[in-house]
Structure 1
Amino acid sequence: MKDMPDSNYNNLRSARWFAPHDLTGFVHRTAIQAEGFSRFAIKDKPVIGIANSWSELVNCNIHFKLLADAVKRGVLMAGGLPLEFPTISLGESLMKPSAMQFRNLMAMDVEESIRAYPLDAIVLLGGCDKTVPAQLMGAASADIPTIMLTGGPQEPAHFRGKQLGVGTDTWKFADELRAGKITQADFDELESAAKPSAGHCSEMGTASTMTSLVEALGMCLPGTASIPAVDSRRGAAAEATGRRAVEMALSQGPKPSEVLTKEAFDNAITLLMAVGGSTNAVVHLLALARRVGYELELDRFHQISERTPRIVNVRPSGEYLVKQLFEAGGIPTVLKALSPLLNKDAITVSGETLEKGYVNAPEPDGVVVSSLDEPFDASGGIAVVRGSLAPNGAVIKRSAASKDLLQHKGSAIVFEDIYDLGRRIDDPELDVTEDSVLVLRNSGPVGAPGMPEWGMLPIPEKLLRKGVRDLVRISDARMSGTAFGTTVLHVSPEAAAGGPLAIVRDGDPIVLDVKNQRLDLDLPAEEIENRLAELKLPEPKYRRGYGRLFIEHVNQAHEGCDFDFLKGLPDEEPQRLPYGLMSGWQGGW
């Protein structure tokens, strides 16, 4: 970190509220004094807002009160005034139809809270899947100095002598139960052991992926992404984050717009591919980039994936968990191994370059983290495919797919929506073989709505009992970052928006060719055009409220599923201050 600059209170953003010696300043100062602070608590001190996504409905973030206290301690040590405020919190397991439907709402909450209040710098506390991108998106749009502290992965689960991940192994045990390999009593016993502590996913699911990418983007202090949630070093990291927030407030930077550059996004995508991370990160990075006016394209992910080997051996793409990754040196060790592929001079919230944060990291151990010369896979974890079934693209996590299915032709079995899937997937009369291609539609941003994690379609029970554990599956949905299998996701445009997925019929031949980036409905072009011309779009799921706003304004997956009116304006400076008079003798609140 750089030396703290000299304080200049009148240059602070909060001084617009608190400095004037008039009625308006009086009202603003007494609002703080009513909470038990003296007027000296805000005199010549930067105000640090702590955006806390703690909630008893979000087990991943349940320890955030303690983290917020540690951040406050750091802020006070550095001479600032910490003020904590709540944000919407998004719990991946409990929110229906999907936490993704509310990511943009949370981003709006964060953005408007930051802009409206007298804050000089922000500390974001996020962990569970959508809380991290939502907070980053909101902070990027508000564009005052911001630093993030993530919650850390939970402790590994242990069950009958084996160490388990929270999601990856649960999905495997569920298949074993449906296949008749374990009993319901076995599965019930697993339930009590599956989530042993606070913190987010213990494998490289969406939360662990996004927190890792925060470090590659330069939005947190180096080395803090993968510290376990219950490790005392996470509290120390929180304290250091609070101290750094004060420095950023006094120097008035760096701001998100200065950190979230094209080079930073390339760094994040490189890390995503190297760790075999969640496909959900693609949607979030696309949305975040557009908040800062950068038109990141889906094809950029494939370009970077092709030149980036997978060098991290963590589930679901590998063997180990994030705790072992941390013990092997964490994200700094991964970044150090990736150094030839990175924009090393990208600025971070530390005030230093990205390289400065990893230069002294341990070397790869060859077990959890490999070198570029001896990778676990020659190319990155995620591939992009296009074709007559996905004109605007789709994604597949090839590092967690069956290699023999990455080039495949099979007949479609179509499920109209998630309810149809639930009714028929285990029907003994379902005409399915191991060569079939399961298709789920009306599960995208508009159709579901909210693009839930339904894309890992279950294997029909009658195939599970024959030993089949993977099929090609295609949908306009997402899937859990902890999930695996040959699943093509985020098909764009989605069925409910008139995409070709809506016209697929049972028995239609579908071709997947990941090597050549193809996903095709293998029918004559004229037949496809005729079916599209006859297509009628479904009625909207919502007629009022936030749901209606969502379906009327959400972008498609290849653009990040943000609202069309929240995109950054590249020809305009971000609005960093609210409207309204900050001084004078007018009354009212």
Structure 2
Amino acid sequence: MPTRLAPEELRSHRWFGPNDLRSFGHRSRARQLGLGPEDWQGKPVIAILNTWSDINPCHLHFKVLAENVKKGVLQAGGMPLEIPVMSLSENFMKPTTMLYRNFLAMEAEEMLRCHPVDGAVLLGACDKTTPALIMGAVSAGLPFIFVPGGPMLRGQWRDQTLGSGTDAWKYWAELRAGNITQEDWCDIEDGIARSHGHCMTMGTASTMTAITETLGLTLPGASSIPASDARHWRMAASSGRQIVENVWNNLNPSQFLNKAAFENAIVADMAVGGSTNAIVHLIAMAGRAGIKLPLEDFDTISRKTPRLADLRPAGRFLMEDFYFAGGLPALLKQVEDILAGDCMTVNGHTLSENIADAKIWNTEVIRTRDNPLSTEGGTAVLRGNICPNGAVVKHSAMEQKYWTHRGPAVVFKDYEDLAARLDDPNVPITGDSVMVLQSAGPLGAPGMPEWGMLPLPKRLLEAGVRDLLRLSDARMSGTSYGACVLHIAPESAVGGPFALVQDGDIIALDVPNRTLTLEVSNEELAKRKAAWKPAARKVDRGYLHLFLNEVTQADEGCDFRFLHYTGTPTPEPRIH
């Protein structure tokens, strides 16, 4: 049994306990908030970091979610304090929320460090919010629990079930091809997002919350409860009760976020057919815990992990179906033999204990181990002279004929060039071409936006083409699909070999052998490199200036160098 803390050992006691002038100030201002000694004396103070905002539809319900967490904290004898932090609205922020993931991570870390709190509940859901909050909380070093916001209800158009993102791309192509009308398109717009909550496909949001549950940072089964289901509110209250207990027992995720836990997370990612973005985020999250996750770890684990979740964009079903089929615990039970089941979790039990009784209720949605969708995971890591530091491809969501493909490059220097020339009949894009988008990485874009699912020319869509090999140093939405090679590192903006690709160069992809090759001689590449010049920097102030000077490449997680784990804890704030 863990040794419970004494009340005077609580971190918040440093603010409220001493009989001195500084603590007099803390207590008197707490009274100004309407609080009294019965609210802070001998009680864990719990921060609830809330990423709600009026312009974030994925987190629209977080005001009520926070109230349920507060209820649980109070029931367990703690004191909840709701603290707003930056809301990363995937739908509206330009050029990409990825530009601001590290901003939220810094804010979460500092808000926990500077306030009189003993533990934290993190409210997140939409894509970058989850890794950002966890990165910050791990660096802050306090006990915490993550409460996922949950997926929205399935979309609907006439008799068609719609999935966020995935069906937007699908029907946009059909509109451009002339197969649906503008009126149809408007009806789809009206029915694809029917409730609060994040994307209901296995996009980045659902992938990251599944990973977070597998890491042991949520209560069991929390990651796939639909946002509008009353069980979601009850899970939030249970999380509030649990964090109070964890503070008393000093159950801190920093004690159990080891290499095995992150390898478990990779297993979950591959088994659900998760988003390619998970690789960047997992590397960054692990880095905050002092764990190295080289790209080879992802590929090694992918090759031994069967894909069992038949979820869009790589399958048929949606997150609501996944939840009622048994959710993540049922899926993890199927791959328990390749998990480190002795890893601890925030409810004080091991991962194996948490999934011991999990069952599949629909074997179409969650396959059994002897009937997988594929014998390996949904994502592959590539190497080659065009991507010496790696690239990723979600081969589970592309036509198999592109798994091995060789064709001539058609190069777009940046996104503006792509938008201007995509439908130009003089640009020689055919079904054999390899579309190349440069200047779309962490520095080049900046922020590494989700531009990697390059749109296809209208004339090819009209001819029935729906996939094409596409390469970029960008990311793509977890709801996207197609033969899209992503995260090419080093990116073109820093002069990596990807910057040297020219129209007509032959590029060869071989997914089974995990290679991506630019068929240009080393001598020719050396000549091109000697003539290459970086683009002029356009920003010299503010957060973007900081980002451009400190962000790492995709294979390193795109975190800031100065936030990397050093092995030395950041000193506690002085309060005198």
TM-score, normalised via structure 1 length: 0.96
Distance 1:490 1:541, change over 3 A: farther
1:287 aligns with 2:284: yes
1:578 aligns with 2:573: yes
Instruction: Give the 3-state SS of the residue equivalent to 2:223 in structure 1.
Output: coil
Equivalent in 7, 10, 17 of residue 8 of structure 2:
10
Distance 1:531 1:220, change over 3 A: same
1:534 aligns with 2:531: yes
The aligned residue for residue 549 of structure 1 is 546
1:491 aligns with 2:488: yes
Cα distance, 1:500 vs structure 2:
1.0
Partner Cα separation in structure 2 for residue 340 and residue 7 of structure 1: 36
Instruction: Give the 3-state SS of the residue equivalent to 1:491 in structure 2.
Output: coil
Equivalent in 184, 187, 190 of residue 186 of structure 1:
184
Question: What does the per-residue CA deviation read over 1:52-92, in whole Å, with 9 as the maximum and x for residues that have no partner?
Answer: 00011111011001010000000000000000000011011
Equivalent in 75, 78, 84 of residue 76 of structure 2:
78
Cα distance, 1:576 vs structure 2:
6.2
Question: What does the per-residue CA deviation read over 1:148-187, in whole Å, with 9 as the maximum and x for residues that have no partner?
Answer: 0000000001101111101101110000000010111111
The aligned residue for residue 586 of structure 1 is none
- Aligned pairs for 1:441-452 within 5 A: 441-452=438-449
1:313 aligns with 2:338: no
The aligned residue for residue 165 of structure 1 is 163
Distance 1:501 1:40, change over 3 A: same
Partner Cα separation in structure 2 for residue 271 and residue 309 of structure 1: 10
Instruction: Give the 3-state SS of the residue equivalent to 1:299 in structure 2.
Output: helix
Higher RCO (CA 8 Å, separation ≥ 6 residues): 1
Equivalent in 106, 109, 114 of residue 107 of structure 2:
109
1:355 aligns with 2:356: no
Indicate if the aligned counterparts of 1:337 and 1:363 stay in contact, CA closer than 8 A.
no
Cα distance, 1:295 vs structure 2:
1.5
Instruction: Give the 3-state SS of the residue equivalent to 2:447 in structure 1.
Output: coil
The aligned residue for residue 585 of structure 1 is none
Indicate if the aligned counterparts of 2:110 and 2:140 stay in contact, CA closer than 8 A.
yes
Instruction: Give the 3-state SS of the residue equivalent to 2:14 in structure 1.
Output: helix
Question: What does the per-residue CA deviation read over 1:266-325, in whole Å, with 9 as the maximum and x for residues that have no partner?
Answer: 000000001110000100000111111111101110000000010110000110001100
Cα distance, 1:21 vs structure 2:
1.2
Cα distance, 1:363 vs structure 2:
3.3
Instruction: Give the 3-state SS of the residue equivalent to 2:185 in structure 1.
Output: helix
The aligned residue for residue 474 of structure 1 is 471
Indicate if the aligned counterparts of 1:334 and 1:364 stay in contact, CA closer than 8 A.
no
Partner Cα separation in structure 1 for residue 105 and residue 540 of structure 2: 23
Partner Cα separation in structure 2 for residue 100 and residue 116 of structure 1: 25
Aligned AA for 2:572?
A: L
- Aligned pairs for 1:25-424 within 5 A: 25-253=23-251, 255-363=252-360, 365-424=362-421
Partner Cα separation in structure 2 for residue 108 and residue 537 of structure 1: 29
Distance 1:376 1:221, change over 3 A: same
With 357-366 and 423-432 compared, the bigger mean Cα shift is at 357-366
Indicate if the aligned counterparts of 1:143 and 1:576 stay in contact, CA closer than 8 A.
no
Gaps of 5+ in 2: none
Aligned AA for 1:423?
A: A
Instruction: Give the 3-state SS of the residue equivalent to 1:334 in structure 2.
Output: helix
TM-score, normalised via structure 2 length: 0.99
Partner Cα separation in structure 2 for residue 533 and residue 7 of structure 1: 62
Cα distance, 1:539 vs structure 2:
1.1
Aligned AA for 1:579?
A: R
- Aligned pairs for 1:504-543 within 5 A: 504-543=501-540
Cα distance, 1:22 vs structure 2:
1.4
Aligned AA for 1:25?
A: S
Aligned AA for 1:229?
A: A
Indicate if the aligned counterparts of 2:5 and 2:250 stay in contact, CA closer than 8 A.
no
Aligned AA for 1:110?
A: A
Indicate if the aligned counterparts of 1:208 and 1:226 stay in contact, CA closer than 8 A.
yes
Partner Cα separation in structure 2 for residue 580 and residue 31 of structure 1: 15
Cα distance, 1:7 vs structure 2:
6.1
Partner Cα separation in structure 1 for residue 422 and residue 312 of structure 2: 27
Partner Cα separation in structure 2 for residue 7 and residue 537 of structure 1: 56
- Aligned pairs for 1:561-576 within 5 A: 561-570=558-567, 572=568, 574-575=569-570
Identity percentage over the alignment? 49
Partner Cα separation in structure 2 for residue 499 and residue 313 of structure 1: 37
Question: What does the per-residue CA deviation read over 1:377-427, in whole Å, with 9 as the maximum and x for residues that have no partner?
Answer: 111000000111101000000110111101000000000101010011112
Indicate if the aligned counterparts of 1:88 and 1:106 stay in contact, CA closer than 8 A.
yes
Indicate if the aligned counterparts of 1:441 and 1:502 stay in contact, CA closer than 8 A.
yes
Partner Cα separation in structure 2 for residue 238 and residue 210 of structure 1: 18
Partner Cα separation in structure 2 for residue 36 and residue 339 of structure 1: 49
Partner Cα separation in structure 1 for residue 3 and residue 236 of structure 2: 21
Cα distance, 1:356 vs structure 2:
1.2
Indicate if the aligned counterparts of 2:325 and 2:363 stay in contact, CA closer than 8 A.
no
Aligned AA for 1:38?
A: G
Cα distance, 1:364 vs structure 2:
6.1
Partner Cα separation in structure 2 for residue 362 and residue 374 of structure 1: 15
1:440 aligns with 2:440: no
Indicate if the aligned counterparts of 2:69 and 2:237 stay in contact, CA closer than 8 A.
yes
Instruction: List structure 1 segments (4+ residues) > 3 angstroms apart after TM superposition.
Output: 4-7
Partner Cα separation in structure 2 for residue 31 and residue 252 of structure 1: 28
Cα distance, 1:575 vs structure 2:
2.6
CA RMSD after TM alignment = 1.1
Cα distance, 1:528 vs structure 2:
1.2
Cα distance, 1:256 vs structure 2:
2.5
Indicate if the aligned counterparts of 2:390 and 2:489 stay in contact, CA closer than 8 A.
yes
Partner Cα separation in structure 2 for residue 344 and residue 435 of structure 1: 46
Indicate if the aligned counterparts of 1:142 and 1:576 stay in contact, CA closer than 8 A.
no
